[in-house]
Chain A
Amino acid sequence: MLLLFPLFSLTGCEQPQVNFVFSEKTNELVPEAAKPVKEALVRQFGNPFELTQFEGLPTDFGDVEGSVKTVQASSGEEKLIRFQVEGLQDAYPKLLGLPLEWTSGKGQGQISRIKEYNYETGTIAVDKAADIDPQPGDTFLVECTRLQFGRDLYNRHCMHCHGMSGEGTGPTSRYLNPPPRDFRQGIYKYTSTKPTAKAQNADLERTVKEGIAGTYMPSFKLLTDDEVSAIVNYVIWLSIRGETEKKIVDELFFDYSKKVVAERTSEDGGESREDVMEELKEYMELDFPDTLEFATSSVAEAWEEANMEDAVVVPETPRVPDTPESRERGRKLYLGDKTKCATCHGPQGRGNGTATQDFWTNPATNEKYPNRGLHDIWGNQLPPRDLHRGIYRGGRRPIDVYRRMYSGIKGTPMPAFGGPLSDEELWDLVNYVMSLPYSSK
């Protein structure tokens, strides 16, 4: 052990070499269907150490432009070309392994991988190739720097709980309750947006900076704004990857999961495996590219829309003054049939409504959950909040509580009251709910 110590100190801690994981559902497909899905995902998104970009996503890949300053003479045996560059001074300093696209000169349109990068001297080395011949003044793009920056920060600060692919199963996750969010559904609970919209970048940035009180998500306020936005950029990218996977697998699942194929090829099903595979092959050739295209573009569009100005929930009237009358109106609404708040949160707001005693149906599988009580779409049991505790996971400002009521809490049974209730009614409810922790009842 003593002998190993200097070895460890010299080598340091390397980043673990791991891959993005595929969802359980993907792995339940027959291998013939799972393989192209996995290949397509790797082609579109790469792996954690070689992120791949493709057009049309609302995330910032962070391409930076540079130009060749001087080219170092190399001996004939050298396999790399080294050259000094300009224009990358402000870029993310770790460019190793990133793709470099030549935008002028002999190699225009070609892509080289950066094999060495020295931030201090501004020297880059790429593989020697017949059509790569950098000359002073040649320009190039280094792709994906922003995403890579976000990934490095994510791996340092978030991966421990949220997992390498944002699947929520990092090494620490098994000790946490509530469990860390699985990003792959693209659903985030605490947003400022309308009920059906995704989260704004600002919502996720706020969550990273402020943490989530009452859960194990701590505050990362000491990171700079730029770092936080880079992390969020990467988290959204991970979400898009997960959602794309979900969409294409959902398309295939009803015909080509292992279980379905076994049924189809059983005696009752009456089809031969060859027929099914032939049909799958046809689908893969004719329809799969469109499915993939549609999956990515629809996901990308939804994320883009969430960041539009009109996606945000803005009350039409200011907060109704927090008076005993307003609270009383809120209390009546709380107990009334219009909202049915008490069904889940209990008549006193202790989180023990009658709904917590029912067996609920899982909307994904249409089967009853084995445990009594409410569940979220990630399959976790979800007790309704005890409103007396004064812990507000989505923020404790009146507007935060208003938005929880207006849009509901996404991914949970907390419904959106934005339509059924008027602004004044919502504010009365906010006033009542926010007074509960300080009431004697």
Chain B
Amino acid sequence: MGKGWCLFFLFWPVAAVVSCAMAPMVGWSFPYDNAQAASNLGIRIDGLFYLILFVTAVVFVGTQAVLVYALWRGSSNRDERATCTHGNHKLELIWSIIPGVILLFLALYQMNLWADFRIKKFFPEAAVKAPIAEVTARQFEWRFRYPAIGKKLQPKPQADDLYSVNELHVPFGKPVMIQLRSEDVQHSFFLPALRIKQDALPGLQIPVWFEANKEGVYDLVCAELCGWGHYKMKAHVIVESEADYQNYLKNLTQQQFYDGLGKIAANENDSESEATEK
């Protein structure tokens, strides 16, 4: 093999490392302009991601350096022929034990985070006690069912439940939990800004909790290829102050029980055209 090929094989790992290092600068890193996750849990997940990235980067750079070194040496020494060996016990032990230790460390290190994220026993108690809404994924939209103001969400729909579609309002500054369902096929509840992702499975009701650490409008998308309209399955999660949230629910109640008479306050994000009607 000529030196040209050595350089060719050197170029790719270098390009990979450089592009990876530059990614945050050109907006290829985490969603929302490489901003910090919009939830405290998300920040911890980002931390875990960076740790794994660091470990794998060290291994990648090390192995690539050895590979290029071996190629280079081989290309500059054409007299010596390669010899066949039957392995080296010490080496086998080293490269089995070191990755094993790393994996074990990662497994133990992330256990708390995983438990906080996925195991209901570790969810914030307040959120578990009062799920904020039932989220139903279906081809190709998100439908939400809130309990009436002052009431608790029941597994079965109630007469005074409040409904909305593609627009989930949640209060700011406290953990909230939703009950996730799917009406048809498998979908995935994905809040990229909050680093929350959970599959929705037909027949199951899956609790998911999150806590946004700043107010704003976040994308809710489907992260499971669910059919031709998968890419359209986009909604907004609107994180707002408790007062605004209560206001929203009041508004929703008014609209939902509207009997066609009198004016109702128009919600800024609502399509209600009858607000102007007599």
List 6 tightest A-B contacts by C-beta distance, closest first.
A209-B271, A399-B260, A202-B273, A319-B259, A221-B166, A218-B141
B257 contacts A398, C-beta separation under 8 Å? yes
With contact pairs A210-B165, A219-B141, A221-B165 given, residues A397 and B257 touching in the complex (Cβ less than 8 Å): yes
Interface string of B144-174 (1 = CB under 8 A from A): 0000000000000111000101110000000
Q: Which of A89-97, A308-316, A353-361 contacts B (4 or more CB under 8 A)?
A: A308-316
Contacts of A221 in B (CB 8 A): 165-167, 235, 271
Question: Which residues of chain B from 201 to 248 have a CB within 8 Å of any chain A CB?
Answer: 228-229, 232-236
Interface residues on B, range: 20 to 34
With contact pairs A222-B166, A438-B159 given, residues A315 and B271 touching in the complex (Cβ less than 8 Å): no
**Extra inter-chain contacts (18) besides given A211-B165, A399-B274, CB under 8 Å:** A160-B228, A205-B271, A216-B139, A218-B139, A218-B140, A218-B233, A219-B165, A222-B234, A309-B278, A314-B277, A315-B261, A396-B163, A396-B256, A397-B258, A399-B258, A427-B259, A434-B159, A438-B157
CB distance from B134 to the nearest CB of A (A): 13
Q: Which residue of A lies closest to B166 (CB)?
A: A221
Our count of residue pairs bridging A and B at CB distance below 8 angstroms stands at 82
CB distance from B83 to the nearest CB of A (A): 39
Interface residues of B (CB under 8 A from A): 139-141, 143, 157-159, 163, 165-167, 228-229, 232-236, 255-262, 271-274, 277-278
CB of A415 within 8 Å of the partner chain: no
Contacts of B234 in A (CB 8 A): 222
CB of A228 within 8 Å of the partner chain: yes
Q: Looking at chain B's contact residues, is the secondary structure mostly helix, strand, loop, or mixed?
A: loop
With contact pairs A202-B274, A221-B166, A314-B278 given, residues A213 and B257 touching in the complex (Cβ less than 8 Å): no
CB distance from A285 to the nearest CB of B (A): 46
Contacts of A218 in B (CB 8 A): 139-141, 229, 232-233
CB distance from B175 to the nearest CB of A (A): 26
Most buried by B among A219, A312, A402: A219
- A313 to B232 Cα, complex, angstroms: 34
Interface string of A402-441 (1 = CB under 8 A from B): 1100000000000000000000000100000011011000
CB distance from A153 to the nearest CB of B (A): 13
CB distance from A137 to the nearest CB of B (A): 41
B235 contacts A222, C-beta separation under 8 Å? yes
- A435 to B261 Cα, complex, angstroms: 21
A390 contacts B258, C-beta separation under 8 Å? no
- A401 to B139 Cα, complex, angstroms: 25
Q: Which residue of A lies closest to B184 (CB)?
A: A216
CB distance from B116 to the nearest CB of A (A): 31
B260 contacts A402, C-beta separation under 8 Å? yes
CB of A172 within 8 Å of the partner chain: yes
Contacts of A157 in B (CB 8 A): 232
Contacts of B262 in A (CB 8 A): 318
CB distance from A321 to the nearest CB of B (A): 11
Contacts of B139 in A (CB 8 A): 216, 218
Contacts of B236 in A (CB 8 A): 222
- A53 to B158 Cα, complex, angstroms: 50
A435 contacts B159, C-beta separation under 8 Å? yes
CB of A185 within 8 Å of the partner chain: no
Q: Which residue of A lies closest to B255 (CB)?
A: A397
CB of A82 within 8 Å of the partner chain: no
Contact of B157 among A192, A318, A437 (CB under 8 A): A437
- A319 to B167 Cα, complex, angstroms: 28
B166 contacts A219, C-beta separation under 8 Å? yes
- A356 to B139 Cα, complex, angstroms: 29
CB distance from B138 to the nearest CB of A (A): 8
Q: Which residue of A lies closest to B272 (CB)?
A: A206
Contacts of B255 in A (CB 8 A): 397
B259 contacts A318, C-beta separation under 8 Å? yes
Interface string of A191-217 (1 = CB under 8 A from B): 010000000001001100111010010
CB distance from A161 to the nearest CB of B (A): 9
Most buried by A among B141, B157, B234, B262: B141
- A218 to B232 Cα, complex, angstroms: 9
- A160 to B231 Cα, complex, angstroms: 14
Q: Which residue of A lies closest to B277 (CB)?
A: A312
A-B contact pairs, 13 of them (CB 8 A): A192-B274, A205-B273, A209-B271, A211-B165, A219-B141, A219-B166, A222-B236, A315-B261, A399-B259, A399-B274, A402-B259, A403-B260, A427-B259
Contacts of B259 in A (CB 8 A): 315, 318-319, 397-399, 402, 427
- A219 to B236 Cα, complex, angstroms: 12
Interface string of A286-322 (1 = CB under 8 A from B): 0000000000000000000000010011110011000
Interface string of A376-403 (1 = CB under 8 A from B): 0000000000000010000011110011
Q: Which residue of B lies closest to A430 (CB)?
A: B259
- A176 to B277 Cα, complex, angstroms: 34
Contacts of A219 in B (CB 8 A): 141, 165-166
Contacts of A315 in B (CB 8 A): 259-261
Contacts of A435 in B (CB 8 A): 159
Contact of A398 among B229, B232, B258 (CB under 8 A): B258
CB distance from B136 to the nearest CB of A (A): 10
- A210 to B228 Cα, complex, angstroms: 20
Interface string of A162-173 (1 = CB under 8 A from B): 000000000010
CB distance from A366 to the nearest CB of B (A): 38
With contact pairs A399-B258, A399-B260 given, residues A390 and B157 touching in the complex (Cβ less than 8 Å): yes
B157 contacts A314, C-beta separation under 8 Å? no
- A222 to B278 Cα, complex, angstroms: 27
Contacts of B274 in A (CB 8 A): 192, 202, 399
